[in-house]
Amino acid sequence: MEGEPTTRVWDLPTRVFHWTLAALVLFSFVSAKIGGAWTEWHFRSGYTILALLVFRVLWGFAGSRYARFSAFVRSPGAVWRYLHAPDSPLAGHSPLAALSVLAMLAALLLQGSAGLFANDAIANEGPLARLVSSAASDRLTTVHRWGEKVLIALVALHLAAVAYQEWRKGRRLVWPMITGDARIAAPPARDDAGMRLRGAVLFALAAALVAFVVTR
Ligand code: HEM
Ligand code: HEM
């Protein structure tokens, strides 16, 4: 709202998470379609996405105010009430947006995990494919292929919802995801050096976990 004070809503780790995730998901699609020598980069991009997702789950417990799951994961009743009073100003994800956030995180986790076991029937397979039977690898490849469609649908819905809020409802959501600040009267999220260091440490942990798993 115009005239409202500026409040830090998204800490830096959440913002870096978001834009890196968006860029890498796009890159994963492109690299998978080109194939060939790009497959190697498809894999690396997928590992990084998995590390980002593990980080985001940790951040859902250890992040700042609005990044925590406890701030945006709401009961079906709360989603219902929001649907009936959608114009009340709020900081962070709305109860409805939270559903789309959780669906995207879950679908990407499944997509990345299935990829680890997938094969292209020619020369490439995920690093864990040899740990399962070829029938199981084929089934997970099918999951990975269907995941493409699910992800396209979820991301399209996400972009449509953001565009609707921006252009029809006059709610600025994209700018806060870039700068961290929203014009809303609400308690600020912590985003100091300590918080950012905590984010970096948790991401390093997440990356180490993924590296450990994919080098099995
Ligand atoms: C493949 C592309 C994308 C994916 C997978 C994606 C995924 C996500 C996820 C997981 C969140 C939750 C953030 C968190 O709490 O950590 C989110 C929030 C958000 N995304 Fe995206 N995103 C994508 C592209 C974009 C683009 C292109 C834009 C803008 C032009 C955008 C704008 C936003 C905004 C504004 C929010 C915050 C929504 C709110 O205030 O509730 N996203 N996105
Ligand atoms: C989470 C992010 C990921 C996304 C969005 C994604 C997306 C895709 C898409 C769209 C395709 C289909 C290409 C086509 O045949 O048209 C594909 C194929 C493939 N991906 Fe991924 N992928 C991800 C992660 C991974 C990971 C982590 C691995 C393994 C390390 C992997 C391994 C493969 C393999 C082996 C194929 C070829 C399967 C086939 O021939 O259909 N992907 N991926």
SS3 at position 6: strand
Report pLDDT digits (tens) over 7-34: 999 999 999 999 999 999 999 999 999 9
- Please state, for a pLDDT cut of 90, what percent of the chain lies above it: 81
Backbone angles phi, psi at 6, to 5 degrees: -90, 130
pLDDT of residue 121: 87
Residue from 25, 26, 31, 177 whose mutation best tests the ligand 1 pocket (most atoms within 8 A of CB) = 177
CA distance 163 to 157: 10
pLDDT tier at 126 (50, 70, 90 boundaries)?
very high
Residue from 119, 132, 144 whose mutation best tests the ligand 2 pocket (most atoms within 8 A of CB) = 144
- The closest residue, in CA terms, to atom 16 on ligand 2 is 33
Q: What is the pTM of this model?
A: 0.95
pLDDT of residue 149: 97
The fold for domain 6-214 equals: Fumarate Reductase Cytochrome B subunit (1.20.950)
Q: Residues with Cβ < 8 Å from 213, sequence gap 6 or more?
A: 116, 128
Residue 48 has pLDDT above 90, yes or no: yes
Report pLDDT digits (tens) over 165-205: 899 888 899 999 999 999 998 999 999 999 999 999 999 99
Residue 3 has pLDDT above 90, yes or no: no
Q: Using an 8 Å Cβ cutoff, are 63 and 13 in contact?
A: yes
Q: Is 207 in the pocket of ligand 1 (CB under 6 A)?
A: no
Q: 17 alpha carbon to ligand 2 midpoint, in Å?
A: 21
Domain ranges, ordered by start, for the chain: 6-214
Q: Is 25 in the pocket of ligand 2 (CB under 6 A)?
A: yes
Report pLDDT digits (tens) over 94-113: 998 999 999 999 999 999 99
Backbone angles phi, psi at 8, to 5 degrees: -70, 120
Where does 35-94 have alpha helices with state H? Answer: 39-62, 69-72, 76-84
pLDDT tier at 2 (50, 70, 90 boundaries)?
low
